[in-house]
Amino acid sequence: MRRPGRHFLQIPGPSPVPDAVLAATARQVIDHRSPEFAELGLSVLSKLGPVFQTTADVVIYPSSGTGAWEAALCNTLSPGDRIITYETGHFAALWSRLAERIGLRPETVGENWRGGVDPQAIEDRLRRDAAREIKAVCVVHNETSTGSTTVLREVREAMDAARHPALLMVDSISGLASADLRMDEWGIDVVVAGSQKGLMLPPGLSFNAVGQRALEASKTAGVARSYWDWGEMIGMNRSGYFPYTPATNLLYGLDAALDRLLAEGLEQVFARHERMARATRRAVQAWGLENLCASPRHFSPVLTTVLMPEGHSADAFRRTVLDAFDMSLGSGLSKVADRVFRIGHLGDVNELTLVGALAGCEMGFALAGIPHQKGGVEAAMRHLSETAAADA
Amino acid sequence: MRRPGRHFLQIPGPSPVPDAVLAATARQVIDHRSPEFAELGLSVLSKLGPVFQTTADVVIYPSSGTGAWEAALCNTLSPGDRIITYETGHFAALWSRLAERIGLRPETVGENWRGGVDPQAIEDRLRRDAAREIKAVCVVHNETSTGSTTVLREVREAMDAARHPALLMVDSISGLASADLRMDEWGIDVVVAGSQKGLMLPPGLSFNAVGQRALEASKTAGVARSYWDWGEMIGMNRSGYFPYTPATNLLYGLDAALDRLLAEGLEQVFARHERMARATRRAVQAWGLENLCASPRHFSPVLTTVLMPEGHSADAFRRTVLDAFDMSLGSGLSKVADRVFRIGHLGDVNELTLVGALAGCEMGFALAGIPHQKGGVEAAMRHLSETAAADA
Amino acid sequence: MRRPGRHFLQIPGPSPVPDAVLAATARQVIDHRSPEFAELGLSVLSKLGPVFQTTADVVIYPSSGTGAWEAALCNTLSPGDRIITYETGHFAALWSRLAERIGLRPETVGENWRGGVDPQAIEDRLRRDAAREIKAVCVVHNETSTGSTTVLREVREAMDAARHPALLMVDSISGLASADLRMDEWGIDVVVAGSQKGLMLPPGLSFNAVGQRALEASKTAGVARSYWDWGEMIGMNRSGYFPYTPATNLLYGLDAALDRLLAEGLEQVFARHERMARATRRAVQAWGLENLCASPRHFSPVLTTVLMPEGHSADAFRRTVLDAFDMSLGSGLSKVADRVFRIGHLGDVNELTLVGALAGCEMGFALAGIPHQKGGVEAAMRHLSETAAADA
Amino acid sequence: MRRPGRHFLQIPGPSPVPDAVLAATARQVIDHRSPEFAELGLSVLSKLGPVFQTTADVVIYPSSGTGAWEAALCNTLSPGDRIITYETGHFAALWSRLAERIGLRPETVGENWRGGVDPQAIEDRLRRDAAREIKAVCVVHNETSTGSTTVLREVREAMDAARHPALLMVDSISGLASADLRMDEWGIDVVVAGSQKGLMLPPGLSFNAVGQRALEASKTAGVARSYWDWGEMIGMNRSGYFPYTPATNLLYGLDAALDRLLAEGLEQVFARHERMARATRRAVQAWGLENLCASPRHFSPVLTTVLMPEGHSADAFRRTVLDAFDMSLGSGLSKVADRVFRIGHLGDVNELTLVGALAGCEMGFALAGIPHQKGGVEAAMRHLSETAAADA
């Protein structure tokens, strides 16, 4: 028996799924080789491009985002290939570790858990690669473990400055449809994404948006692969079908979710996330607490990660909040385990839910005996009401 | 296309329906004369008594609460019968008007839109009724238009003091399962209720809990009736069936909702409502605004009605809140139209949702230019966190 | 735990609800006084007229069809008013009994449980009513207990031939949206209907389509009423609202169901029902069993009622079918209790479901030891495949 | 707009999903790192073993069955490893092709699209493998493209007879929970399965049941892998969690579906499938058509594949059936494309639905001008009613 009222799911993904999207996923399954299915397939495929801001093909996998990480690498790179990464946090590190496990040679050119990728580090390393051994630059757009968003345009410019032909591969699992991502304009070769964040779906689908250069690479390179192989997928997608049984019901939901996003308009979606993020940061500041992201230009529109005062357990605090107020907050991962908690403000979230979430934090501080100043909720409300006029 | 995030439905009913209850209502309909249906019928009927705190029969109508008002009267009273009422607000007045329309002679013995029924007025009038012409005392338990809750025990005591045999009929449409209601202990003859408030269901079902004296009365008295007739209903209910096609899918939901209520425990349900109400009143006080209910012992656990500062339109304010923050607040009705707004805090509502709702009000004041003091949300949070310890 | 596979709900209503309609009913409830609600209200009200084939107002009650029976009578007739009815079966008799209970004087001018209304009987009685004491003629369009459909046009003609001003009131609870019903063309003054038959909704809503003459009558006549009163209802409906809390979630479903009906087209809906009915009758004939309806021009498109061979219990047979094949069939009511069973083929039913249902009967005969000839299913299939060509 | 009535989804998977399972998948997503999630995880993991009839670990992937094929191979086998397969149809061939694509050396030791694996062929090949180069025997339990079910016990016996240490890996994607599968008793090392067949779920989950020897092998062997790696998965599963975001909502459904299966009892589930299959074969025989599976001991309980009479297009026939009767049948794949159609009778299917489906075929033959004898439906009904007595 769940507690009275709605659970507040304020982790940085999975994000709350709109009722209408959940209802769409609960339609009876259909024959994945029927004409009706082809309509569904073509519908979702045609709407995905605009969300990635690309004309490239977008491949849909029945898998988690981790699978799509693997897919991006194994379609384009060959065993022993060098890639460079930048450790913006736990997920950047995990992707790098995954690359290693499937036989690539990743090299981390820098590390910053309190900000975005330093493009200079990329540029420097690429310039030193006279032999053009580096085949890809792999960076995380929005680092879900820290709340920092990399300025991808700068990464592209760094690569251009180095005149290096490496592919630019971007994990935007928690960025897509929340933070601006212009695949074509920014010259990104592969974007990796997942369903359970800005797309407002349950987990279970992941994506590779595949640029022309990546597709070319996939024809001559790649590690042994079958499930993840782009070729067959893109071929069959032309007619709306998939080479193996797709996760039909999540596609129903995807179709509904894409309709919502496109009806709202991407720009408005990004602005809404930004507004929620600002309100949250105002609260953190008012509480006298520190944002893990120390670089304002990398503040994330998706989540905010809060450093606990020295000597206080973030996990104990999260447990208190869960017990007392039925809210889930994100935990600190690996290097920052128990040191931070994360507030997700992405996807299908609005002003009053956000204030409720921030109130859960502020009341939780009181209950858990965390040193803080009151007024965080009020500061957030001030921002939201000041910026509301234009909405109304 | 709905706005992003969840709508805040903070009217004093219909209240938000828990997802699991909605899902229950969406099960395929079954044969209402099948053995499977009888199990459902017996299940809901057996769980209703405890919620009304009675061993009496509870009749379920496919109708709104208005229908159950009519049912209570037309089963027990004959054309021209005198009844007395007390105008605690719009709904008490409506019930009285309905009585008149179906041929009864209602008399209002007092009026107070800012508090509960005055038991003395009842007692006085009954004492004067030497001829025992008055057949029923009809009062509203929780007046949804004002946010006042009558102390029913006092009404009973008043009737006893007057040694008057009139029936005590209580509208607890918005009280049941939110405010304590002890039908048997308090000697209530008929309780009228509805599905869309504390029972956390969509609207469409209503109830008459029928005490022994009322049932006796129904055998000799009553206005012309068929749909509302208790006799056939109670007879068929013995075996779990209904005399006409019941609203099967709402009964599915009712079964699920009753399970939730009984699992939580009625005492806990009432305490939870009381806590939400107190937090709300702290907010109203902090804003420097006035509660329409001026009598603290009649403060409602279900809703709080806020008087707008002179010269400000409550309806314009509610529109601002709806537009800017996607929250529905209750409007002022008849005598207090445009003068008050109502905040529902009943049913499936928890702490963070309530704070969100109060924040919507406080931010709405700012947007709409309503004179107020800040700090309402903070005051509510203080109450909620101070009283949370025991919960966690 | 339900049995594997889908239950076959083959009673003459409630009929199976399409998944999409069930899903619509499971949307979160909204404020019934909000602008969003008004849109919903206006939407359903505007689509109802075409289904009743009328330009008249259609009133929607949160109630069963029984309530709408009462509504039709109590809005137009005064205590002691005479009405005439024709007993085509159990439901015609029940409506008459209801009329009596609410103070009217119904007179049954004929009885035929094996066919439709005899218009001559109506005409004869009306002609004898020189004093114009008869205020209404109340007939059932499709008699759900027998499977006979009255030819309403003939009833109208009979009334016209008698030049009698009585109102023509029609119960089309199980007829609407399954059997052709032209309210305006056929001069019907009130049509009574329900949600759980051809409208493919769960039970819980009922309807009065109110012609101009009936509306006029309601202004001067009528028994004491409040819940059922047309005046307030029609007034508020103009703006999309209702005078008391409507059954919002069933209205969501109604909106979806009406969209389906209007998209398919009423003519096609009627033709589809007719085709199912013919296939069913072919099966009954092949089994060597008798249709309770003995008059081919009154065969119902909605259900077929089968007479059991002498000495065999229809109810025992139905139990066998329910136990062995998880199918619900309709029981015989009152005069034909245990003598007949009823096969519903209305609403959201297609060819293969119908064949499955008929197979359940035919296999049930074998299991229950009912004398019959095989080949009923085959006969139905022959009809369905012969008439399928045009569809494909 | 869908056609009236329910679509008949009679392909051999995805199979129709029970309404309650669909509803379970539509619950709001939760934090996959919360205590509540761990309960869900442990619940499903504890119920899976009994369905595989094993005490081994069962790994759940967010992926299609194709992914689970790849997972089974890449966890246990190293690049260049030899495996042997037996081509019972399209899916056996696809699995072999997949093995090749990921760097293994599959060898097909026999081919029979009209029956199960010939164990002698396996034994002979293994006996010749003196060097023990063959690392695995990979067979399909129930071949979805042909409707043949291999007798796995014989394959095990063949391997034992050859005293060969190769792993036995079985694709039971369409067999699990429909055809008896005794992983432990039959000494199967890895079972590959999917959600959308006997488990009655939407597609999107797949499974590897991992025996002790396979687990040992995975520690020293395997191709480059990350997503599919068993080690981390099994480790985290101990506490009910997953190493990457699981497909939470499908797990909700899985929990509900497993409850249904275990409540019914596996033996009863298998018997039910067998009964449906027999009824279907009676129909095919009566039509005078040929079952693609020519070996009665390999007849599938899951689906029946029907050979079209020479000169008639199976796909044109399927289109006719889809257009005229809204039923999806399975198409012929690769070698038997357009030559056969497949009738699925697996999962949540009952007697009357099956008869409806067979009627759709029989009526479809008539419409499409396919030479056949009538009486198939009748033959199926005879079998179902003869075997129904025990059920009732």
Q: What is the CATH number of the domain that holds D53?
A: 3.40.640.10
Q: Which residues of D touch B19 (CB under 8 A)?
A: 27-28
- pLDDT, residue C389, reads 64
- pLDDT-based confidence at residue A224 (cuts at 50, 70, 90): confident
pLDDT surpasses 50 at C392: no
Alpha-carbon distance B236 to nearest alpha carbon in chain C (angstroms)? 15
Q: B23 vs D23: CB contact, 8 Å cut-off?
A: yes
Q: What is the mean pLDDT of residues C337-352?
A: 98
Q: A28 vs D34: CB contact, 8 Å cut-off?
A: no
Residue B2 in any domain: the answer is no
Task: At B230, list the tokens.
Answer: 């208790």
User: Is A101 touching D (CB cutoff 8 A)?
Assistant: yes
pLDDT surpasses 80 at A300: yes
pLDDT surpasses 70 at A329: yes
Torsion of CA D11, D15, D16, D19, to 10 degrees: -170
How many Cβ atoms sit within 10 Å of the Cβ of residue B273? Answer: 25
Do C232 and C330 fall into the same domain? Answer: no
How many Cβ atoms sit within 10 Å of the Cβ of residue B69? Answer: 29
pLDDT surpasses 60 at C227: yes
Residue C3 in any domain: the answer is no
Rg (CA), chain B: 21
Do A278 and A258 fall into the same domain? Answer: no
Task: At B73, list the tokens.
Answer: 């009267």
- Dump pLDDT digits (tens) for A134-161: 999 999 999 999 999 999 999 999 999 9
DSSP-assigned letter for residue B309:
P
Instruction: List Cβ neighbours of D353 (8 Å cut-off, separation of 6 or more).
Output: C5, C6, C356, D8
- Dump pLDDT digits (tens) for D121-159: 999 999 999 999 999 999 999 999 999 999 999 999 999
- pLDDT, residue A371, reads 98
User: Is D241 touching A (CB cutoff 8 A)?
Assistant: no
Last residue of a domain, one of D230, D262, D294: D262
User: Is C23 touching A (CB cutoff 8 A)?
Assistant: yes
Q: Which of D352, D353, D355, D382 to mutate to test the interface with C (most CBs of C within 10 A)?
A: D352
pLDDT surpasses 70 at B342: yes
pLDDT surpasses 90 at A222: no
Q: C203 vs B248: CB contact, 8 Å cut-off?
A: yes
Q: Which residues of C touch B14 (CB under 8 A)?
A: 29-32, 245, 248
Task: At A85, list the tokens.
Answer: 């990464």
- pLDDT, residue C224, reads 86
Last residue of a domain, one of C225, C240, C262: C262
Do A96 and A167 fall into the same domain? Answer: yes
pLDDT surpasses 80 at A335: yes
Q: Are B181 and B175 in contact (CB under 8 A)?
A: yes
How many Cβ atoms sit within 10 Å of the Cβ of residue B100? Answer: 14
- pLDDT-based confidence at residue D391 (cuts at 50, 70, 90): very low
Q: What is the CATH number of the domain that holds C340?
A: 3.90.1150.10
- pLDDT, residue B392, reads 42
Alpha-carbon distance A19 to nearest alpha carbon in chain C (angstroms)? 7
Do B218 and B115 fall into the same domain? Answer: yes
Q: Are D283 and D376 in contact (CB under 8 A)?
A: yes
Tokens 């249906």, located at residue:
B37
Q: Is A315 helix (H, G, I), strand (E, B) or coil?
A: helix
- pLDDT, residue B391, reads 45
Count up the domains in chain B and report the number.
Answer: 2
Strand ranges in D71-218 using DSSP code E only, listed in sequence order? 82-87, 105-111, 134-140, 142-143, 148-149, 167-171, 190-194, 205-210
Residue C197 in any domain: the answer is yes
Distances (CA, A) of C171 to C13, C94, C143: 15, 11, 9
- pLDDT-based confidence at residue A391 (cuts at 50, 70, 90): very low
Do B202 and B299 fall into the same domain? Answer: no
Residue D136 in any domain: the answer is yes
Do A339 and A232 fall into the same domain? Answer: no
- Dump pLDDT digits (tens) for B224-235: 899 999 999 999
Strand partners, C170: C139, C191
User: Is B11 touching C (CB cutoff 8 A)?
Assistant: yes
Residue D1 in any domain: the answer is no
Do C247 and C111 fall into the same domain? Answer: yes
Q: Which residues of A touch D63 (CB under 8 A)?
A: 61-63, 67, 227
Q: What is the mean pLDDT of residues D84-105?
A: 97
Q: Which of A356-365, B361-370, D134-143, D219-228 has the lowest mean pLDDT?
A: D219-228
Pairing of strands A148-149, A167-171: unpaired
pLDDT surpasses 60 at B211: yes
- Dump pLDDT digits (tens) for C10-27: 999 999 999 999 999 999
First to last CA, chain C: 38
Do B323 and B178 fall into the same domain? Answer: no
Do C258 and C296 fall into the same domain? Answer: no
Q: C4 vs D350: CB contact, 8 Å cut-off?
A: yes
* Mean of pLDDT over chain C: 97
CA atoms within 13 A on the CB side of D221: 22
pLDDT surpasses 70 at A324: yes
d(CA D222, CA D218): 6
Residue A80 in any domain: the answer is yes
Do A253 and A275 fall into the same domain? Answer: no
Residue D132 in any domain: the answer is yes
Neighbours of chain A (3+ CB pairs under 8 A): B, C, D
- pLDDT, residue D392, reads 41
- The set of long-range contacts for B67-70, using a CB threshold of 8 Å and a minimum separation of 24, is B67/B206, B67/B228, B67/C62, B67/C63, B67/C67, B67/C227, B67/C244, B68/B173, B68/B192, B68/B193, B68/B194, B68/B206, B68/B207, B68/B208, B69/B95, B69/B98, B69/B171, B69/B192, B70/B98, B70/B102, B70/B228, B70/C226, B70/C227
Q: What is the mean pLDDT of residues C256-268?
A: 98
Q: Which of B266-280, D10-24, D218-232 has the lowest mean pLDDT?
A: D218-232
- Dump pLDDT digits (tens) for C273-304: 999 999 999 999 999 999 999 999 999 999 99
Q: What is the mean pLDDT of residues B103-126?
A: 98
d(CA A25, CA D247): 13
DSSP-assigned letter for residue D178:
T
- pLDDT-based confidence at residue D222 (cuts at 50, 70, 90): confident
Distances (CA, A) of A325 to B16, D38, D48, D272: 18, 20, 34, 47
Do D196 and D253 fall into the same domain? Answer: yes
User: Is B202 touching C (CB cutoff 8 A)?
Assistant: yes
How many Cβ atoms sit within 10 Å of the Cβ of residue B263? Answer: 9
Buried b (16+ CB within 10 A) or exposed e, D265-288: ebeebbbbbbbbbbbbbbbbbbbe
* % of residues, chain D, pLDDT over 90: 97
Do D257 and D278 fall into the same domain? Answer: no
Strand partners, C136: C83, C167
- pLDDT-based confidence at residue B223 (cuts at 50, 70, 90): confident
Task: At C170, list the tokens.
Answer: 């029609």
Instruction: Compare CB distances from B350 to A6, A18, A259 and report the shortest one's residue.
Output: A6
Nearest Cα to A45, choosing from A261, A191, A258?
A: A258
User: Is D29 touching A (CB cutoff 8 A)?
Assistant: yes
How many Cβ atoms sit within 10 Å of the Cβ of residue B173? Answer: 29
- pLDDT-based confidence at residue C353 (cuts at 50, 70, 90): very high
User: Is A34 touching D (CB cutoff 8 A)?
Assistant: yes
**Is the bond into C14 cis (omega within 30 degrees of 0)?**
yes
Residue D69 in any domain: the answer is yes
Residue A291: which domain range?
Answer: 8-15+265-391
Last residue of a domain, one of C242, C262, C282: C262
Task: At B134, list the tokens.
Answer: 């008055």
User: Within its chain, how far is the Cα of C34 from the centroid?
Assistant: 33
User: Is C27 touching B (CB cutoff 8 A)?
Assistant: yes
pLDDT surpasses 80 at B1: no
Q: B64 vs C223: CB contact, 8 Å cut-off?
A: no
Nearest Cα to D200, choosing from D247, D254, D158, D161?
A: D254
* Mean of pLDDT over chain A: 97
- pLDDT-based confidence at residue B222 (cuts at 50, 70, 90): confident
Q: Are B154 and B119 in contact (CB under 8 A)?
A: yes
ipTM of this predicted complex? 0.97
Neighbours of chain C (3+ CB pairs under 8 A): A, B, D
Tell me how long chain B is: 392
The model's pTM is: 0.97
Of all residues in chain D, the one with the smallest CA distance to A228 is D67
Q: What is the mean pLDDT of residues A219-223?
A: 90
